[in-house]
Structure 1
Amino acid sequence: MKKSKLKNFSILLLLLVLSACQNTPSKPEQPNNQTTTAQQISKKYIIADLHVDVPYRLEEHYADVSKATDGGDFDYPRARAGGLDAPFMSIYIPANIEAEGGDSTAVANRLIDSVEAIVKQAPERFALAYSSQQLKDNFNKGLVSLPMGMENGSPIAGDLNNLKHFYDRGIRYITLSHSLSNHISDSSYDQARPAQGLTDFGKELVVAMNQIGVMVDVSHISDLAFYDVMEHSQVPVIASHSSARHFTPGFERNMNDEMIKTMAEKGGVIFINFGSTFISQTSIEHWNAFKAAREAFINQHGVAEDSHEVKAFTESYNNENPFPFADLNDVLDHFDHVVKIAGIDHVGIGSDYDGVGDSLPTGLKDVSTYPNLIEGLLNRGYSETDIAKILSGNLLRVWQQIEAFAAEK
């Protein structure tokens, strides 16, 4: 009798517990306060990214970026989700065009045409931005601005009239060289450095850029060329998509501490590149090992780099040796380092979205992820005022200084 009553009581108790669980509404998960704050900040302030390679991406594979796209790192829906307001469209000119005697000026004009076409196709979403004020006005209208920077000065073609032409078409910064030394500047990637810095024309061009109101971009150029720029520029300069060499010793494409501090002393800003092979020494070493192995395979088998055999080798190599992606914290380390040595007024965002292939870090895979960066900065103790400077305040300050200098000429 006792056993039966105990069993019945246990069953009754179980039913009561189950009933209580069913009738008690589950509490929805509360978002992390920092996550919410990051989202709010991403909408409150202009987010400017100094380097997004959309034009060349569309040159190779066209897509309507006013709508969601299957590939690439940028489109309008993702930009809105991430709070991106001013991606500088990179008018990227491959270095081999000038080296092989081609018409890089024509290529630049065609790519600018493509940016204008994006705006014409979706004027309710995009707008050009020829000035800092126009960028602000577009933001207040809810439009995504598409200011433009020229990556590689080869389209200037030794003629300052072309500088005026491209200024009139909306170019607001020029990266003096790219992967090869050119008629303006030696390149950090090129072993051949005939000018040992800037050429005579390059020095003349820097002065002319100051006077017309085009920002001088020192990303890609050699260290000696950087110091030539600093000597001849009368206004602050930018590095549109570089990172801190402190974390990648020997990688001249990034800026060392002395260069960052020198640029900051004259009011300039370094905009941090997100690519894993700019951020992480481990990623760089993996990439270099892969390139060496691929080169050995090509030489051993006598095949072309774009052959099916090399593609199969690449796939097999990557399966056996997965690429070690950088992550959000690695990127934040670069921001921290620049702030530590140069101050909060001298760092910004230059992601290189659509320009660094599949090497983007975990947590920052496309333009929808700027809130992740903001949350990371909050977690590291940055104030909202600090973050606003990183997002666009530092860019706007430099741009306005350059506009003011040019207006006096």
Structure 2
Amino acid sequence: MKLITGLSLLTLSCTVLAQQNTDSSFNPASKRAIELTKKTILVDTHIDVPYRLEHKWEDVSQAAGGDFDYPRAVQGGLNAPFMSIYIPAGLEKTGGSYELANKLIDYVEAIVGRAPDKFAIADSVQDVKDHFAAGKMSLPMGMENGSPIEGKLENLKHFYQRGVRYITLAHSQSNHISDSSYDLRRQWQGLSPFGKELITAMNNIGMMIDVSHISDDAFYQVMALSKTPVIASHSSLRKYTPGFERNMDDNMLLALKKNGGVIQINFGSSFVIASAGAWGDQFKAKRKELAKQNGEESQMVKDFRKAYLAKNPYPFATIAQVLDHIDHVVKLIGIEHVGIGSDYDGVGDSLPIGLKDVASYPNLVQGLLDRGYSEADITKILSGNVLRVWQQVELYALTH
């Protein structure tokens, strides 16, 4: 791949070796793993750069903060990161979703405009392949939270024309489309009447349906209605996080197989291991109690996180535990139904040891090699499966 031009394998090896940290089960990437990421299209379906730039603008075509920038993405072999057009759930009630979505899309276009030799907007599978051949990084887009549709099918057309190629139907609260897995108030008992209409419209226009974040009832209604395969753009498995509805259980995976879809594994530690989620729940409860006693603006509350971490270290997941999620999907429903949706820049500092940023993908590839995955199967995980789904969605729209 031309994106690596000028960066030696030795430099890359040193980069991923430095991320080893303290995971004794973690083997740093070998020359073979690094070369495999170089020669393979690598699609990550969920990276939260646009909303990160809403808070603090940076030129991500150069070395920058956060989990993503161009130099580290090149080091990691990433060449098709879906830019997440993330819309906070609260805007459903207050308004402003449509405007924010357009603003974040403007940011993605600005990234390309600033460095057209490095980036290009990808509207199709063929675009991704053409950009890869030309040594450019594709920036396809996915909308996280369908709130900007605002109940208007003309808005679906608008965002499709602006380059959005999947929509996560809801986020942390129910909206006018779907119930959320995080929201105990099941307003619609699944999808709203408009949500059901939207599924058909998304199929017909060529927009991938993202079932991450939605309630179980909504998921099964999507399965019944969609004429195309779907994606879970950044979800992991409930098998390893019992009771966490945001992840998918085995019955959902079996339904996903029947649909022909793909689950893109989330790297966030709380998505990977139950202890990380439990740590977060306990932290929030203790902080809430302290704020109630002393006031939200008290110094004790402001210093609480640092003090709590000193006594209760965060239980970071390991690469091995991320690989367990991939293994389980493969064993239950097959190699054709799993990929990567890291949630980089979207899960704070909770990322696993060895997977701290977009330079880290060779470490994951090394783990797959160590577990006996063939290069052909690794290629399916890195991009083949989700590109197959995307292409099927495109083909359906062309014929309907």
TM-score normalised by length of structure 2: 0.92
The Cα of 1:303 is off from its aligned counterpart by 2.2
The Cα of 1:313 is off from its aligned counterpart by 1.3
Which residue matches 2:160?
167
Distance 2:89 2:239 in 1: 27
Distance 1:362 1:175 in 2: 28
SS at match of 1:50: strand
Which residue matches 2:384?
393
The Cα of 1:301 is off from its aligned counterpart by 1.4
Distance 1:302 1:127 in 2: 48
Going from structure 1 to structure 2, the CA distance change for 1:311 and 1:234 (only over 3 Å counts) comes to same
SS at match of 2:90: helix
SS at match of 1:271: strand
Which residue matches 2:80?
86
The Cα of 1:203 is off from its aligned counterpart by 0.4
Which residue matches 1:132?
125
State the 4+ residue runs in structure 1 displaced beyond 2 angstroms: 31-34
SS at match of 1:339: helix
Residues 148-191 of structure 1: per-residue CA shift (max 9 Å, x gap): 00000000000000000000000000000000000000000011
CA contact (8 A) 1:34 1:378 kept: no
The Cα of 1:314 is off from its aligned counterpart by 1.5
Residues 234-256 of structure 1: per-residue CA shift (max 9 Å, x gap): 01000000001100000000000
Which amino acid letter does the alignment assign opposite residue 257 of structure 1? D
Which residue matches 2:92?
98
Which amino acid letter does the alignment assign opposite residue 208 of structure 1? A
Which residue matches 1:203?
196
Distance 1:34 1:138 in 2: 26
Which residue matches 2:3?
none
CA contact (8 A) 2:29 2:362 kept: no
258-267 or 397-406, which deviates more: 258-267
Distance 2:381 2:183 in 1: 31
Q: Whose RCO is larger (CA < 8 A, sep 6+)?
A: 2
CA contact (8 A) 1:39 1:371 kept: yes
Which residue matches 2:336?
345
Are positions 1:220 and 2:213 aligned together?
yes
CA contact (8 A) 1:213 1:402 kept: yes
Q: How does 1:231-270 map to 2 (within 5 A)?
A: 231-270=224-263
The Cα of 1:302 is off from its aligned counterpart by 2.8
The Cα of 1:311 is off from its aligned counterpart by 2.1
Which amino acid letter does the alignment assign opposite residue 349 of structure 2? D
The Cα of 1:318 is off from its aligned counterpart by 1.1
Which amino acid letter does the alignment assign opposite residue 118 of structure 1? I
The Cα of 1:131 is off from its aligned counterpart by 0.4
Going from structure 1 to structure 2, the CA distance change for 1:290 and 1:203 (only over 3 Å counts) comes to same
Distance 1:308 1:199 in 2: 44
2:281 to 288, 299, 306: 288
Which amino acid letter does the alignment assign opposite residue 83 of structure 1? G
The Cα of 1:61 is off from its aligned counterpart by 1.0
Which residue matches 1:64?
59
Residues 37-93 of structure 1: per-residue CA shift (max 9 Å, x gap): 101110111000000000000110111100001x20000000000000000000000
Which residue matches 2:354?
363
1:149 to 142, 149, 169: 142
Which residue matches 1:21?
none
CA contact (8 A) 1:38 1:371 kept: yes
SS at match of 2:85: strand
Distance 1:259 1:331 in 2: 19
Residue ranges of structure 2 left out of the alignment (5+ in a row):
1-13, 18-26
Are positions 1:408 and 2:365 aligned together?
no
The Cα of 1:261 is off from its aligned counterpart by 1.2
CA contact (8 A) 1:236 1:266 kept: yes
Which residue matches 1:380?
371
Residue ranges of structure 1 left out of the alignment (5+ in a row):
1-28
2:107 to 108, 114, 121: 114
Distance 2:207 2:300 in 1: 45
SS at match of 1:145: strand
CA contact (8 A) 1:91 1:108 kept: yes
Distance 2:254 2:269 in 1: 23
Distance 2:302 2:165 in 1: 38
Distance 2:69 2:330 in 1: 31
Which residue matches 2:38?
43
Q: How does 1:286-365 map to 2 (within 5 A)?
A: 286-304=279-297, 308-365=299-356
The Cα of 1:391 is off from its aligned counterpart by 0.4
Distance 1:55 1:72 in 2: 12
TM-score normalised by length of structure 1: 0.90
For these two proteins, the number of residue pairs brought into alignment is: 376
The Cα of 1:265 is off from its aligned counterpart by 1.3
SS at match of 1:74: coil
Distance 1:406 1:226 in 2: 22
SS at match of 1:172: strand
CA contact (8 A) 2:295 2:301 kept: no
The Cα of 1:195 is off from its aligned counterpart by 0.1
CA contact (8 A) 2:235 2:263 kept: yes
CA contact (8 A) 2:236 2:247 kept: yes
The Cα of 1:319 is off from its aligned counterpart by 1.2
Which residue matches 1:13?
none
Distance 1:200 1:208 in 2: 13
CA contact (8 A) 1:34 1:379 kept: no
Which residue matches 1:54?
49
- What is the percent sequence identity of the aligned residues? 63
SS at match of 2:339: strand
Distance 1:41 1:300 in 2: 55
SS at match of 1:91: strand
